[in-house]
């Protein structure tokens, strides 16, 4: 959740593992070597250039990380203060 000033509030503290996904990550890691080998095989042997490219990109992303992308954003915060004069009667 984010407050009106843009500060993150609530949730896990930075560095705290996500318990909900920890188990599935552990199971998936058992297939890491086999999956990388399959990607390399697809990159080298598949007749479809789109499959070869996707496999090559997947290998590069896992080996070197995904390329960073610049994100441009601007935030305009408008704050309105309403003053109510308790002595004024209408």
CA distance 56 to 42: 9
80 phi-psi bin (left φ>0, alpha ψ -120 to 50, beta other): beta
Q: pLDDT digit string (tens) for 33-90?
A: 999 999 999 999 989 999 999 999 999 998 988 888 877 777 766 667 777 777 877 6
On whether the CB atoms of residues 77 and 4 are closer than 8 A, the answer is: yes
- Residue ranges per structural domain of the chain: 1-90
Q: What is the pLDDT of residue 2?
A: 66
pLDDT for 1: 64
pLDDT at 19 over 70: yes
Residue 49 tokens read as 């250039």
């Amino acid at each position: 959740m984010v407050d009106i000033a843009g500060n993150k509030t609530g949730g896990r503290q930075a560095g705290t593992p996500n318990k909900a996904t920890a188990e599935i990550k552990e199971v998936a890691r058992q297939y890491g070597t086999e999956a990388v080998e399959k990607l390399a095989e697809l990159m080298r042997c598949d007749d479809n250039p789109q499959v070869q490219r996707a496999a090559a990109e997947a290998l590069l992303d896992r080996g070197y990380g995904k390329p960073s992308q610049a994100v441009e954003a601007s935030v305009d915060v408008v704050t309105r203060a309403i003053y109510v004069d308790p002595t004024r009667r209408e």
